[in-house]
Amino acid sequence: MSKPACIYRWDLDKTYLQTEFDSVRALLRTAFEGAEAKRTVPGAATLLRELRKPVGAGDSASRICFISGSPRQMRRVLTEKLRLDGIEFDEFILKPNLRNMLTGRFRALREQVGYKLPALLAGRAGVDPATREICFGDDAESDAFIYSLYGDLMAGRVLRPMLEEILRRGGTYPDDATRAVALFESLHAPSEPVVERIFIHLDRRSPPRRFERYGARLVPIYNYFQAALVLYVDERLSAAAVLRIAVEMIDRHGYSKESLLNSLQDMIRRGRLTVEAVRKFGGSVANAPENSQEALLPALGFLPGTRDLVWELATTLRDLPEMPFASTAPEQPEIDYLVALEQDLPRHRK
């Protein structure tokens, strides 16, 4: 059975790019460096290229959409960076920071809800109601809050009065709030949830328990091997695709078999993966017929020993023993967005 079509929505800074903007010097360096100097988060480029491909013969083509808080003046260098990485995309939205400065909207330079939420809602206009969405963000700002709110708005779990209160308390400028409400009202919410999964890259090493309020739909990850395995279980990636992501992380970023195993065991302990699912993935690779092994791995780009390491990893996963300390994933709760706003948005956090 084919999966519904999917839109993958990505942030850029700290989600796809290893960006530093915690100091004025780092911010200036980021603003003026060229495309070739920008660094990609390990595994992100291969993951994006794999997500673009249909998983099964009957699956629809996926869409890749970027919504970033970077200023519009960086469009040329950012699109060039994506081109160098071989990333095709369908939509690329950047923040109008120059306009915000010239019109005295200084709060909007940092405020994200009034920028990203309308962009997400506008991006849903005209989309087939059966199309699902998977969102990627990070723990530096408000991505967990915004993506979760967007998902619950589209699922009919958050209604207009609550949306208006959230925008008011969040410090959103009135015109941005009015636009967000109007866009929400113009969309016919489907009977099934639109946002299938949310991944939050823990760039700042936030404790995963900080995100428990958002339930099982949101998965905090330390790296994209963890995300790839969840997407494999969700039938959004093939085993071969997961393997190619692991190979990039080994070949280009120095990941070891042990570090990947630790990442996997972390996900099992947190209840985000089951031992059975991991064994299935390992077996699909380790037990593959000899004549199909080339299809599982790219023909070029290996450092010496990478192929052996990958097959050792697959065998280890196939034969993974039970983990007595594994927990179960949190259920999907009714999220108290007013409490979440006070505790999770940067301007409210101490």
Angle made by CA atoms 249, 252, 41, in degrees to the nearest 5: 60
Domain ranges in the chain are 6-223
Q: Give phi and psi for 220, each to the nearest 5.
A: -75, 135
Predicted pLDDT of residue 141: 83
Q: Are the CB atoms for 148 and 220 separated by under 8 Å?
A: no
User: How far apart, in whole angstroms, are the C-alpha atoms of residue 118 and residue 187?
Assistant: 12
Task: Note the pLDDT of residue 289.
Answer: 74
DSSP states of 16-84: TB----SSHHHHHHHHH--GGG--BPTTHHHHHHHHTS-SSTTPPPPEEEEEEEEEGGGHHHHHHHHHH
The CATH topology of domain 6-223 is Rossmann fold (3.40.50)
Residue type, 243: L
**Residue 60 has what DSSP assignment?**
P
Please report the pLDDT score of residue 190 as a whole number.
62
Tell me the mean pLDDT per 10 residues along the chain, length 350. Answer: 85 90 53 83 97 78 91 91 96 82 68 92 92 95 95 94 96 94 86 90 94 95 98 94 92 92 94 94 84 57 71 91 75 89 72
Task: For the full predicted model, state whether its pTM sits above 0.85.
Answer: yes
